[in-house]
């Protein structure tokens, strides 16, 4: 199965979710700032990559894990992919979209805009890291639910 | 076999009309009759994302219409990358953004069309709007897919 974690920019909450899912980060304790920054794609992707479903890795059970940033187009994205699966005969069991944007807090939002949109990385990244660490356990719990349900 | 997606980002179903022209359901020359248009427009157009398989052209290319789904560059990437991860060959996918923008008039025409008591007024407004933009629309189709619109193509049957 293809597990696709999605959020607004595809570079913070969805990346964290994929990292937890793949076991790169432990799900029961909040990682350090350095550990978070060590995760591929964290706070590095910009608007130009929106819509690109990016492969992150295979989990222990062979499920393929992806991330995608979809801007404000969550509903259109789900509708389009649902229609595509009908048209092209793709079984719905072959993929699952998981929305991680519900875990994005104010710190992540403000920091993300500063870092990614305005390229003020020095100002935005510390905020994003603080916000991500705050949201981390909830993200990890969500990922655990997803893993248990597939 | 190619998969050709006609797209526009607003409420007005330009993509639907573009694919109809491509398939020969609507003529290249401006000649619009209300009932032809009415048969083409989905009942719930404008309410949410619209995505339809419209048919197969004379070259066995599959034609789709997609509109009101957000920024075209994101939509295009979602389509291509989703099909790719699901193992569908994406080399033959063409995403054609009509580039035609809606405005208050076109939005209102679609909203009226969706509201049963005002459907007749809505369809008239849609036809008027389409007449105005028809040349631009067909120009776009001819420019973007000239080889698929030759006169010998079996689908190129003009409406009376």
pLDDT of residue B2: 84
Tell me which residue has tokens 């990358």. Answer: B81
- Answer whether A71 sits within 8 Å of B66, measured CB to CB: no
- Residues facing A55 on adjacent strands: A66
Model pLDDT for residues A72-118, shown as the tens digit of each residue: 989 999 999 999 999 889 998 899 999 999 999 999 999 999 999 99
pLDDT of residue B119: 87
Q: What is the DSSP string of A50-69?
A: TT--EEEEE-TTS-EEEEEE
CB nearest B86 (choices: A52, A73, A95): A95
Alpha helices in B89-148 (DSSP H): 104-114, 119-144
Token couple for B47:
């309410």
Mean pLDDT of A130-137: 96
- Answer whether B78 sits within 8 Å of A80, measured CB to CB: yes
Higher pLDDT, A67 or B38: A67
- Answer whether A87 sits within 8 Å of B49, measured CB to CB: no
pLDDT of residue A58: 96
Cα separation, A72 vs A88, in Å, equals 25
- Measured N-to-C along each axis, helices A121-149 and A13-21 cross at an angle, to the nearest 10 degrees, of 40
Which positions ≥6 away from A102 have C-beta within 8 Å? Answer: none
pLDDT of residue B57: 87
Model pLDDT for residues A4-44, shown as the tens digit of each residue: 999 999 999 999 999 999 999 999 999 999 999 999 999 99
Token couple for A73:
């187009």
Cα separation, B50 vs A89, in Å, equals 19
Q: Which of A135, A107, A140, A142 is nearest to A123 (CA)?
A: A107
Radius of gyration of chain A (CA): 15
ipTM above 0.95 for this complex? no
Helices and strands (H, E) in chain B, number of each type: 5, 4
Q: Which of A53, A17, A7, A10 is nearest to A145 (CA)?
A: A17
Q: What angle do CA A60, A63, A67 make, to 5 degrees?
A: 110
- Please report, in tens digits, the pLDDT of each residue of chain B (160 residues total): 788 999 998 889 999 999 998 988 888 877 667 777 777 887 776 667 889 999 988 888 889 999 988 889 999 999 999 999 998 876 688 889 988 888 888 889 888 988 889 888 988 899 888 888 888 888 888 887 655 543 434 333 333 3
Token couple for A20:
């937890």
pLDDT of residue B64: 93
- Answer whether B74 sits within 8 Å of A50, measured CB to CB: yes
* In the predicted structure, residue A68 carries a pLDDT above the cut 70: yes
What's the whole-model pTM score?
0.86
- Is B27 in contact with B21 (CB distance < 8 Å)? yes
CB nearest B51 (choices: A71, A79, A88): A79
**Cβ-based contacts of A70 with chain B (< 8 Å):** 74, 78
- Answer whether B88 sits within 8 Å of A53, measured CB to CB: no
């Amino acid at each position: 199965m293809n597990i696709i974690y999605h959020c607004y920019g595809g570079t913070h909450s969805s990346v964290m979710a994929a990292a937890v899912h793949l076991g790169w980060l432990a799900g029961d304790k909040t990682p350090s700032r350095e550990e978070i920054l060590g995760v591929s794609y964290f706070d590095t992707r910009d608007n130009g990559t929106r819509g690109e479903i990016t492969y992150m890795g295979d989990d222990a059970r062979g499920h393929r894990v992806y991330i995608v940033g979809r801007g404000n187009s969550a509903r259109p994205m789900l509708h389009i992919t649902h229609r595509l699966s009908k048209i092209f005969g793709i079984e719905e069991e072959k993929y699952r979209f998981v929305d991680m944007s519900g875990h994005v807090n104010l710190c992540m939002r403000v920091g993300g805009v500063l870092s990614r949109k305005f390229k003020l990385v020095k100002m935005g990244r510390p905020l994003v890291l603080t916000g991500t660490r705050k949201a981390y356990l909830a993200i990890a719990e969500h990922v655990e639910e997803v893993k248990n349900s597939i | 076999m190619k998969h050709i997606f006609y797209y526009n980002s607003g409420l007005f179903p330009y993509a639907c009309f573009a694919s109809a022209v491509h398939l020969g359901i609507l003529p290249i020359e401006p000649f619009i009759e209300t009932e032809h248009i009415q048969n083409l427009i989905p009942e719930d157009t404008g309410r949410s994302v619209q995505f339809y398989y419209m048919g197969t052209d004379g070259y066995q290319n599959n034609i789709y219409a997609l509109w009101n789904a957000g920024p075209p560059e994101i939509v295009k990437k979602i389509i291509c990358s989703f099909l790719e991860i699901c193992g569908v060959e994406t080399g033959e996918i063409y995403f054609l953004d009509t580039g035609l923008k809606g405005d208050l008039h076109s939005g209102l025409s679609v909203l009226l069309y969706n509201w049963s008591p005002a459907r007749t007024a809505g369809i008239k407004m849609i036809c008027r709007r389409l007449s105005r933009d028809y040349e631009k629309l067909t120009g776009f189709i001819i420019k973007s897919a000239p080889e698929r619109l030759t006169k010998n193509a079996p689908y190129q049957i003009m409406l009376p």
